[in-house]
Structure 1
Amino acid sequence: MNQDVYHDKEIFLQNYEDMKRSLRIYIYPHNKNDPFANALLPEESNQEPGGNYASEAYFKNVLYKSHFITKDPSKADFFFLPFSIASLRHDPRIGVGGLADFIREYMRNISHDYPYWNQTGGADHFYAACHSIGRVAMEKVEHVKSNAIQVICSSSYFLPNYFSHKDVSLPQIWPRHDEPQDLANTSRRKKLAFFAGTIMSPVRKSLAETWKDDSSIFAHDGRLKTPYSDHLLGSKYCIHAKGFEVNTARIGDALYYGCVPVILADYYDLPFMDILNWRAFSVVIMATDIPNLKKILQEISPQEYSVLQANVLKVRKHFQWHKSPVNFDAFYMVMYELWLRRSSVRILS
C-alpha cells in the first residue's frame, strides 16, 4: 500500500509555490447598485458562511480578498463568473424555477459586453456551486456546461455533464472552528464504524437495514439524541454514504474529528484527486460491498489503521475553510486544481 498522502509530494510543493506566485484571476465586475448585487458580489455580513453548502460562499468571499485577483484581464489565467447559485436559489425574484433563465441572460451579457469568453469559447472561465441545483442552472447554457470549468460539490463521473479532466470537485465542508483535542489518541474510539443521516437513497437504505442491529457498526436513521461530534470522536471509521448526490459534508466531518472516512459513493470524483492519494487515508468501497463492510474493516490490521489515522491528521488541513486563506487550506487547494488546468485552456484556445 502506498502510504504517502500525496501522489508526488515534491512536485506538488514545487508547483504549489509556482501557483501562489503566478496564478491570476479576473472577476467580472459588478457594482453595489446592480439589482442582483446580492448574488454577484461577496457577502458583506460579518458572520461566516454556515450550513451544508457554505463551501460556495467561503470560496467566493476569500477569492475576492486574495492576492490572485488582477484588474488587468490581459494578465488573467482564468475568468471568474461570480454569480452565487445559493443566493439566486433563495432570491424570490429568481428561485429554482428562474435560475436557468437568469444564467442564460447573464452569459449573454458577458459574451456581448466583453471579448474574453469568445476568445477561448469559455475554456478559461469558471464558476463555483455547492448545491446540486447548480446543474439545473446550466440547463439553458450548454456552452457553459461543456466549456467552462465547473467548481462544484456534486462531482460524479456518472453524470453526463461533469467532466473530471476539466471540472473541479469542490469539497463540501461544514464550517467548524473549535479544534477537537487529542485526535491522535485512538484508544477512545470504541466503535468500529459510524453513520447517521436521513435514509433517502438505496445506498443508505441498504447500509441501515444491513447493520441496524449490529453492536460494532452504528448505522442510524435520522437525527441523533447525543452529540454528533461524540460519535465522530468515538469511532475508528466514519461512513460517507451517498444520499441524493454523491457528496455530503461527512468526509469533511470525519477528517476534522480524526476519523478514517469509509466512502460508499460510487462514481464520486473525490476532491483533490489530482493531488491526494485517497487510499492512504480513507477506505473506498463499492456500495455492493455493504454486506461485507464489517469483514473489510476488521481485516485492516492495527498497524494499517494507525497509518490511515495518522494520514487523516496530515490531510485534514486541506479540508478546512477560513475567512482569510491559510496555507494549504481548502481555498488554496481549489486554486491549485485550477492552476493545473491552465495548460488545457491553451490547447482549447
Structure 2
Amino acid sequence: MNKSLKIYVYPYGKDDPFANVLLPPESDPKGNYASELMFKKALMKSHFVTEDPDEADLFYMPFSISPMRTDPRIDVRGIPDFVKNYITNISQKYTYWNRTGGADHFYVACHSIGKIAFNKAFVERLNVIQLVCSSTYFPSSYLPHKDASMPQVWPRNDDPPNLITSHRNKLAFFAGAVNSPVRIALLKMWGNDTEIFVHFGRLHTPYSDHLLSSKFCIHVKGFEVNTARVVDALYYGCIPIILANHYDLPFADILNWKSFSVVVNHIDIPIMKRILQGISNEEYTMLQSNVLRVRKHFQWNVPPSDFDAFYMSMYELWKRRSVVRVKLTPFVEFA
C-alpha cells in the first residue's frame, strides 16, 4: 500500500467561495471531531496524492462536514444540498465519477451529522466509500465492508502517561450524560455500586485520574455510538468495555478487538460485574498488555508515522479499492 496507493484529490481554488470547507486546516485541529480534519491535512501532504487521475486508485472529495456545521451559508440542514450539488458539479466537469458511479470515490466525516450528508444523493451513497467515525449498522447511511470506521481521537501532543505508577483500585468507570436508554440502564443498575463507578454530570476530579485508576473503562452508546472515550481509555491504559451493539469498531478488519477490549451486549448490563470479575489476572494482564501495543494505531501524529491513525485509515481505504483500474477511452464516432 505505502508504495503503490495513489489518490486523486478533486481540485479547488483558494478563491473558491467554500474554500473553508475544501481546504485542509492551517493549524492542528482540536476537539472531539478533529480526526476528520487531521486525516485531510495528513493526506494532502502525503506521497499518496497524485496529479494524474489515470493512475489513481481512489478519488477524494475533500469537503469536510465539521466546518459545514458552523458555516451559516450551509448549516446542518444544508449539508445534503451541498453534497448533492458537489457531486453534480464534479460529474459534469470531470469524467471520473461517471466511469464507476462513484464507487472509487470517498469522503471523510467524524461528526455524527455526516450520516445525513447523502440524504439527497441516495443512489450515490450506495457506491461512495465513507470513512466515518459514526459507524453503526442501524442507519441505512452506513454499509459495512463498503464503508470503513475511523476512530474519534482527541488530539494530544504529549507522550502517553507512565502506567507503571498507576494504581487501579476501581473495577470499572464511566462518566457522561444521560442521553440514551442504555446509559439509563447502566445508571439504574450500577449507579450506587462500590466497585463500578458510574457518574452522570460534571466530575469533581480530573477525568484522566479516573481513567488511570480504573481497570476497565466503559464505552456506552449515547445519541450516537461515536465517541473519543474508547481512545481515551486506550491512551490511559484502561481496557475498554464496549457497550454499543451493532457498532463497526474502528479498524475491526485489521485489529482483533477481543484481544484488548471486552464487548458486552446491552442485555448483559445486569451481569456486567460478574463478567468482569470472571476475567482472571492472567487474562487481564494480557488485555492490558495488548492495549499498550495497539494504542499507537489510535493516535494522530504530525507528521504521520507508520501504523498510526492516518496510516491505518489509509490501509482501510486500500482494502476497499477496486483491483481493476478504469481508464477513460476516448469516444470515436463511426460514419
TM-score interval w.r.t. the shorter chain? Answer: over 0.9
Q: For structure 1, list consecutive stretches of 5 or more residues without a partner in the other structure.
A: 1-18
Q: Output the CA distance in 1 between the equivalents of 2:260 and 2:180.
A: 26
Where 1:342 maps in the other structure, the secondary structure is: coil
The yes-or-no answer on 1:85 pairing with 2:85 is: no
Where 1:79 maps in the other structure, the secondary structure is: strand
Aligned to 1:26: 8
CA contact (8 A) 1:151 1:168 kept: yes
After superposition, where does 1:207-218 map in structure 2 within 5 Å?
Answer: 207-218=186-197
One-letter amino acid of the counterpart of residue 205, structure 2: T
The yes-or-no answer on 1:307 pairing with 2:307 is: no
Distance 1:75 1:344, change over 3 A: closer
Question: How far did residue 68 of structure 1 move?
Answer: 0.4
Question: How far did residue 269 of structure 1 move?
Answer: 0.3
Aligned to 1:317: 296
CA contact (8 A) 1:232 1:238 kept: yes
The counterpart of 1:261, out of the listed 236, 240, 246, is 240
Q: Output the CA distance in 2 between the equivalents of 1:198 and 1:157.
A: 23
Q: For structure 2, list consecutive stretches of 5 or more residues without a partner in the other structure.
A: 329-335
CA contact (8 A) 1:194 1:218 kept: yes
After superposition, where does 1:226-265 map in structure 2 within 5 Å?
Answer: 226-265=205-244
Q: Output the CA distance in 2 between the equivalents of 1:184 and 1:316.
A: 16
Question: How far did residue 135 of structure 1 move?
Answer: 1.6
The yes-or-no answer on 1:181 pairing with 2:161 is: yes
Aligned to 1:9: none
Q: Output the CA distance in 1 between the equivalents of 2:190 and 2:69.
A: 37
Q: TM-score, normalization: structure 2?
A: 0.95
Aligned to 1:16: none
Identity of aligned residues (%): 62
Aligned to 1:281: 260
Question: How far did residue 345 of structure 1 move?
Answer: 6.8
CA contact (8 A) 1:124 1:345 kept: no
* Larger RCO (CA within 8 A; separation ≥ 6): 1
The counterpart of 1:166, out of the listed 135, 139, 146, is 146
Distance 1:137 1:343, change over 3 A: closer
**Per-residue Cα deviation, 1:175-194 (whole angstroms, up to 9, x for no partner):** 122224322556x0110000
Question: How far did residue 306 of structure 1 move?
Answer: 0.1
Where 2:81 maps in the other structure, the secondary structure is: helix
Q: Tell me which protein shows more helix as a share of its residues.
A: 1
Aligned to 1:57: 37
Q: Output the CA distance in 1 between the equivalents of 2:271 and 2:263.
A: 13
Aligned to 1:6: none
Q: Output the CA distance in 2 between the equivalents of 1:157 and 1:346.
A: 29
Where 2:47 maps in the other structure, the secondary structure is: coil
**Per-residue Cα deviation, 1:130-157 (whole angstroms, up to 9, x for no partner):** 1111121210011331100001111012
One-letter amino acid of the counterpart of residue 273, structure 1: A
CA contact (8 A) 1:193 1:238 kept: yes
The yes-or-no answer on 1:332 pairing with 2:311 is: yes
CA contact (8 A) 2:189 2:270 kept: yes
One-letter amino acid of the counterpart of residue 85, structure 2: E
Q: TM-score, normalization: structure 1?
A: 0.91
Say what the alpha-carbon RMSD is for the aligned residues. Answer: 1.5
Aligned to 2:251: 272
Q: Output the CA distance in 2 between the equivalents of 1:336 and 1:184.
A: 32
The counterpart of 2:320, out of the listed 308, 324, 341, is 341
Q: Output the CA distance in 2 between the equivalents of 1:114 and 1:128.
A: 21
Aligned to 2:173: 194
Q: Which 4+ runs in 1 deviate beyond 3 A?
A: 343-347
CA contact (8 A) 1:261 1:282 kept: yes
CA contact (8 A) 2:115 2:142 kept: no
CA contact (8 A) 2:57 2:325 kept: no
**Per-residue Cα deviation, 1:97-155 (whole angstroms, up to 9, x for no partner):** 11111111111001000000001110100000011111212100113311000011110
Question: How far did residue 323 of structure 1 move?
Answer: 2.5
